[in-house]
Structure formats: structure tokens, C-alpha cells
């Protein structure tokens, strides 16, 4: 199922009573729109932004992801028996530890490099792309493993950006092909039910059947899942949460800080901007990350593009 197609509510929260609908627990991504929406939002946010050149570069990369996603289409290669066993054991069916990555994802990487490479790319980025094309399959798979298992080092940064982008397309397509009605939220609610990754940000909705619901958006497979508001997504505590933002800004993006675990997570408010995108708006508010970090909180999990993306800036 695609974004907007969801698991039956009874599978997750029980049947709603009194005519009140419970929020849908899991939204699977739509590869046909996910990356195009991010590219358009990055372009819009880059206008007049202090990091305009970098955001435009990231918009080009997101557009290249869209080319790959719409060329290759969703995947449906997860063995039913393996998927059902993972769900029964409360293990994400696409988790890196157990998911047999189809080597065809490298064809997506090659297509992505062709789509993103061009005269407008900064020289450092073009050099990185050329070096990546020279790597053999084993070296590329090893780099993918280092990213998925959080083993990247400084020397991987530039090359890993494109591998990361290709993996996002691959896992988004794989998540789109999962049987959503069979999936379950994890005991650790801050992790993606599809692939076990951390969220890039949360979105508090202003539309749909239950406005005001909070959905976390996966940094890898783009799935979105419900999470109780006013509860830390890292440690589960609620006693010392605060929302912090930059004074005078529109209030679209806030940092939810927790004094129990001393972490924070980005929260986006759709009521402030219906066009927000959980991936783009996170990138465009790096200034908020810097301010919150200076005040003593650590981000609960990195945005993969913030982790490796600055290496390609000209």
C-alpha cells in the first residue's frame, strides 16, 4: 500500500467506539511521490536561505532519487514466511540484521549517479561520483553495510551520501510492497516498524481523520507511524519535555527536548505550513540543531544526509 493507505484500525488499537475514529497506526510510503515532494520542498526552502547552495544540491539529489524510484518501482521481494516470522517476533521485516538486501539496489545506485551527475554539480561532488563508479560491487556493499550498521568513518562521508540515497530508494520501495495489515508497531515505539531505523522527524498533523496526531517518519524506508505526543521518543518519559524554537520564526519546526535522557527530536507542525516535508524541513533547520546542541541536548538520531551530506558542498 502507498502513503494514505493504511492498516485497519482494529489491527492496532481496537475498534473505535462512539463514532470516533482512532488514528491509523502506520502509513506506508508512496515511492512515486516521496522523493519528488522532498525535491520540490528543498527548492522552495532554499530561496533566501543562508545554505541555499547546499539545499539546492540536496534538491538535485532528491530529484535523482525520484528518477530511480519511478524507474524501478516498488519492490515486493520479501518472502511471506520470513515476513510473518519477523512480525510474530516483533522484528521489523526489513531490519538490516535480517533482511537479505537484493543486489539489484546497486542498479538503482548507478541510475542515481547518472541522474545526479551534471555540469551543475560542485567539483568535489563530481570527483566523489567518479570514485564511486570505480569501486567494485564488494566495496559498495561493504560501504552500505557500514552505513546501515552505523560504522561509517570520516573518510566514507562523501561517497556514503550517494549510497545512502540509493538505499533510501531501495528500502522505500521495499516498504511500499509490504502487506500493511500484517505489520505491528514495535515495543520500542521510537523505531520504525518496517525497518527498525530511527525517525528523521515527527509531524503533528492538521488534516486527515484525526488532526493533531503525531507521526514519526523513518529516515531510511520513509514509513510513518503513530506515536503518543508529549512523550519522549527516545526514553519514553514525559515529565521534563519542552518545545524549543528560534524566536521570531514561523514555528513550523520545534525541538522537543527531554531532560531525562538529554536528547531532542525535531517536531514539525502542519497547522503552520501544510506544505512541510519531514525530510526537507529537517535539513533546512540546521540552525535549530546548532542552538539546541549548544544548550546541552544531543540529537536522538542523525539525519543521514546531515551526517554525510556536507562533504559534497562546493
Number of domains in the chain: 2
Rg, C-alpha atoms of the chain: 19
- Asked if residue 154 belongs to a domain, the reply is yes
Ranking 6-15, 179-188, 246-255 by mean pLDDT, the lowest is 6-15
Q: Mean pLDDT, the chain, as a whole number?
A: 87
In this model, does residue 24 exceed pLDDT 70?
yes
Bridge partners, 202 (sequence order): 216, 267
Tallying the residues shown for the chain, one arrives at 314
When mean pLDDT is compared across 68-77, 131-140, 236-245, 249-258, the lowest value belongs to 68-77
| DSSP string for 24-64 | PSEE---HHHHHHHHHHHHHHHHTT-TTHHHHHHHHHHHHH
The reply to whether 155 and 228 lie within a common domain is no
| Displacement of CA 44 from its chain's centroid (Å) | 19
Q: Is the pLDDT of residue 87 over 90?
A: no
Contact 267, 252 (CB under 8 A): no
Q: Tell me the pLDDT tens digit for each residue of 198-233.
A: 999 999 999 877 899 999 999 999 999 999 998 999
How far apart, in whole angstroms, are the C-alpha atoms of residue 271 and residue 310? 31
Host H or E run for residue 143: helix 137-148
Classify each residue of 97-116 as buried b or exposed e, where b means 16 or more C-beta atoms within 10 Å of its C-beta: eebebeeebbebbebbbebb
CA–CA gap between residue 28 and residue 240 (Å, rounded): 32
Say how far apart CA 309 and CA 190 lie, in whole Å. 24
Same domain, 155 and 221: no
Q: Which domain holds residue 290?
A: 199-312
Look at residue 82 in the predicted model and tell me its pLDDT. Answer: 63
77 and 41 housed in the same domain: yes
Cβ 115 vs Cβ 67: under 8 Å? yes
CA-CA-CA-CA dihedral for 208, 211, 214, 215, to nearest 10 = 0
Among residues 122, 141, 176, the one where a domain terminates is: 176
CB 92: neighbour CB atoms within 10 A?
26
The three cell numbers of residue 165 are 540515497
Q: Comparing 59 with 150, which gets the higher pLDDT?
A: 59
182 domain-assigned: no
Kindly give, in sequence order, each residue whose CB lies less than 8 Å from that of residue 79, ignoring residues fewer than 6 positions away. none
pLDDT of 106 strictly over 60? yes
CB 233 within 8 A of CB 216: yes
Place of cell 538490516: 96
Same domain, yes or no: 224 and 153? no
14 belongs to a structural domain? no
Q: Which of 194, 10, 217 is nearest to 86 (CA)?
A: 194
CATH assignment of the domain containing 91: 3.90.1670.10
Mean pLDDT on 154-165: 89
Q: What average pLDDT does range 4-31 have in this prediction?
A: 59
HSE, side-chain direction, 13 A CA sphere, residue 306:
19
Q: Tell whether 45 and 162 lie within a shared domain.
A: yes
Amino acid at each position: 500500500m502507498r502513503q494514505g493507505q493504511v492498516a485497519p484500525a482494529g489491527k492496532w488499537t481496537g475498534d473505535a467506539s462512539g463514532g470516533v475514529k482512532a488514528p491509523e497506526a502506520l502509513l506506508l510510503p508512496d515511492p512515486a511521490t516521496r522523493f519528488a515532494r522532498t525535491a520540490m520542498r528543498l527548492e522552495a526552502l532554499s530561496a533566501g536561505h543562508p545554505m541555499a547552495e547546499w539545499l539546492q544540491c540536496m534538491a538535485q539529489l532528491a530529484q535523482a532519487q525520484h528518477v530511480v524510484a519511478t524507474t524501478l518501482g516498488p519492490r515486493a521481494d520479501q518472502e511471506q514466511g520470513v515476513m510473518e516470522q519477523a512480525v510474530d517476533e516483533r522484528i521489523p521485516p526489513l531490519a538490516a540484521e535480517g533482511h537479505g538486501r537484493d543486489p539489484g539496489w546497486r542498479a538503482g545506485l548507478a541510475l542515481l549517479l547518472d541522474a545526479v551527475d551534471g555540469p551543475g554539480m560542485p567539483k568535489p561532488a563530481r570527483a566523489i561520483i567518479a570514485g564511486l563508479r570505480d569501486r567494485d560491487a564488494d566495496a559498495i556493499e561493504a560501504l552500505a553495510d557500514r552505513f546501515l550498521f552505523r560504522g561509517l568513518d570520516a573518510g566514507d562521508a562523501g561517497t556514503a551520501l550517494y549510497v545512502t540515497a540509493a538505499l533510501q530508494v531501495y528500502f522505500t520501495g521495499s516498504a511500499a510492497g509490504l502487506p500493511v495489515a500484517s505489520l505491528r508497531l514495535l515495543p520500542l515505539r521510537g523505531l520504525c516498524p518496517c525497518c527498525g531505523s530511527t525517525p528523521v522527524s515527527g509531524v503533528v498533523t492538521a488534516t486527515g481523520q484525526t488532526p493533531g496526531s503525531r507521526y514519526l517518519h523513518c529516515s531510511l524506508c520513509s514509513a510513518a507511524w503513530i506515536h503518543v505526543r508529549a512523550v519522549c521518543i527516545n526514553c519514553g518519559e514525559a515529565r521534563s519535555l519542552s518545545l524549543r524554537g528560534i524566536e521570531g520564526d514561523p514555528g513550523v519546526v520545534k525541538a522537543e527536548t527531554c531532560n531525562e535522557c538529554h536528547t531532542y527530536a525535531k517536531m514539525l507542525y502542519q497547522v503552520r505550513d501544510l506544505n512541510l516535508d519531514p525530510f526537507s524541513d529537517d535539513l533546512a533547520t540546521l540552525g535549530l540543531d546548532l542552538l539546541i546542541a549548544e544548550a546541552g541536548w544531543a540529537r536522538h538520531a542523525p539525519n543521514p544526509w546531515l551526517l554525510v551530506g556536507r562533504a559534497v558542498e562546493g
